[in-house]
């Protein structure tokens, strides 16, 4: 709608895209001015969900294989945090704090600005580190169980 409105008064040329951007920003500023603090909180939560869960506005992420892989990685990362918490006496918390702070900082930056599925790539290395912690804990549990059931 903004593009069509700008096209009606501005010829397509070097200033056209700048005028379209200005029209979009004017509309966004007006919408933001009408938002309540609760609206801002809901929007921030939605942005965090889009960053960590999946971006349902992107056709690529609607693919069941993509969604399944991302869901498994996210669940393993959550399990990794839980396993690190359970093993907190033998874990280097400065390393864990760095991972958590980076993930929290990236999430906060996106909650304050904008989210697109491609920006999630900055979280993936940390997500896989946490998922690896869960897998290591699972491997350890399987080894302990097998050791208890193996006759000597």
Rounded-to-integer distance, Cα 131 and Cα 125, Å: 10
CA dihedral 128, 130, 131, 135 (to 10 degrees): 130
Q: What does the pLDDT read at residue 66?
A: 82
Rounded-to-integer distance, Cα 40 and Cα 127, Å: 27
- With a CB cutoff of 8 Å and minimum separation 6, the contacts of 124 are 73
pLDDT above 70: residue 77: yes
CB 120 within 8 Å of CB 51: yes
pLDDT in tens, 16-60: 788 888 888 888 888 888 999 999 999 889 888 878 776 666 677
- H or E element: which one contains 147? helix 124-149
CB 131 within 8 Å of CB 76: yes
Mean pLDDT, residues 128-149 taken together: 90
Tokens of 49: 């969900």
- With a CB cutoff of 8 Å and minimum separation 6, the contacts of 48 are 107, 110, 111
CA distances from 74 to 5, 29, 47, 135 (A): 43, 34, 16, 13
> pLDDT grade, residue 117 (50/70/90)?
low
């Amino acid at each position: 709608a903004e593009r069509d409105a700008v096209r009606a008064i501005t010829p397509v040329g070097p200033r056209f895209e700048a005028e379209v951007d200005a029209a979009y920003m004017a509309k966004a500023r007006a919408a933001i001015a009408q938002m309540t603090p609760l609206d801002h909180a809901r929007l921030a939560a939605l942005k965090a969900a889009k960053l960590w869960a999946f971006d349902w506005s992107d056709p690529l992420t609607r693919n069941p294989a993509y969604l399944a892989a991302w869901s498994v990685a996210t669940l393993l990362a959550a399990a990794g945090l839980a396993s690190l918490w359970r093993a907190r006496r033998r874990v280097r918390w400065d390393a864990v704090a760095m991972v958590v702070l980076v993930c929290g900082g990236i999430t906060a930056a996106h909650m304050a600005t904008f989210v697109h599925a491609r920006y999630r790539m900055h979280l993936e290395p940390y997500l896989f580190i946490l998922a690896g912690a869960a897998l290591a804990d699972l491997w350890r549990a399987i080894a302990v169980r097998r050791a208890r059931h193996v006759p000597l």
